[in-house]
Chains A and B, each alone.
Chain A
Amino acid sequence: MNEVADRLDDATRRLVAATQEGLPLCARPYEALAARLGATQESVLERLAQMIDNGSIRRIAAVPNHYALGFRANGMSVWDVADEAATACGREIGELPFVSHCYLRPRHLPEWPYNLFAMVHARCREQVEAQVERIAEILGPRSRGHDVLYSKRILKKTGMRLGREI
């Protein structure tokens, strides 16, 4: 996970800019993208494959709008697990189908003892609670405490600029 980040060369930057709004919607999307860039389809496919390989692109995929699909409750569950157990715990929790993001982050003692963050999405708060309960069972005594921070309001949500997309 630590290899040096891909340097953003011009061709990559242009590719990212050209896909900012997504992939062209047609039967041959990579050819259409190549046409936009004035490049060959072959070179575009090659570059995309390379970027998937080095992790610059996670995947080329559809991203559902949670909210529109009825997944209206989201809770950021946070857990205090011993540092030496944290990686194993993260792997187990990250694999759960209802967990979208799972990260290890620094504690801020004394007010913030939690180091494992797992974002849980569900149709309602009761379902989030049940899923958090499930995480608690899996972690067992490895969790020394947890909390769930429900989102109340989206204050800002923008796509990322330049060529950034998360």
Chain B
Amino acid sequence: MDELDRSIVNTLQDGLPLCEEPFAALAAALETDEQTIVSRLARMLDEGILSRFGPLYNAERMGGALSLCALSAAPEAFDAIAERVNAHPEVAHNYEREHALNMWFVLATEDADRIAQVVAEIEQETGCRVLQFPKQKEFFVGLKLEV
């Protein structure tokens, strides 16, 4: 990554303008031209430096539901439990964390009622109690990594 890559990433984390030629609108500030921005973006997506470029949707505002959940899996059963949890398509991501509550996953469903059903299924399949941590309030979301 060179200086220009970094400026492009830093600038585009804030957002792309909504206009017919949005890259041209940014080119002057970045001291380059629109074609260069587009090809740098394509390269950085290709190399995995960027994981996405596009609209970032807010599932909850679109009628969907999300809930963070956690459970405590015994070490010897951990992988088998992870496999059962992950088998649910509603599990969007799942992390092992260093804590007595060692498995933390996010359920994403198209409608809110489905969350409780999936939790009940996971509890039944794993024998583990699932704690739910639905968000009650969200503060500024959008890490800006200065690269």
One of A27, A29, A58, A117 near B142 (C-beta < 8 A): A58
Q: Which residue of A lies closest to B38 (CB)?
A: A25
Mostly, the A contact residues are mixed
Pair A152/B97 contact, Cβ less than 8 Å: yes
Count of chain A to chain B residue pairs whose CB atoms are closer than 8 Å in the complex: 255
Total residues of chain A contacting the partner, CB 8 A: 82
Query: Do the beta carbons of B89 and A22 come within 8 Å of each other?
Result: no
The minimal Cβ–Cβ distance linking B1 to chain A, given in whole angstroms, is 8
Chain B residues, CB < 8 A from A113: none
How many chain B residues touch A (Cβ–Cβ < 8 Å)?
78
Q: Choose from B8, B59, B131 the contact partner of A165 (Cβ within 8 Å).
A: B59
Query: Does chain B have a CB within 8 A of A72?
Result: no
Query: Does B103 have its Cβ within 8 Å of any Cβ on chain A?
Result: yes
Partner of A155, one of B59, B64, B86: B86
Q: Does B28 contact A (CB under 8 A)?
A: no
Q: Which residue of A lies closest to B133 (CB)?
A: A105
Q: Is the CB of A27 within 8 A of B136?
A: no
**Least CB distance, A143 to chain B, in whole angstroms:** 16
CB-CB under 8 A from B103, the residues of chain A are 155
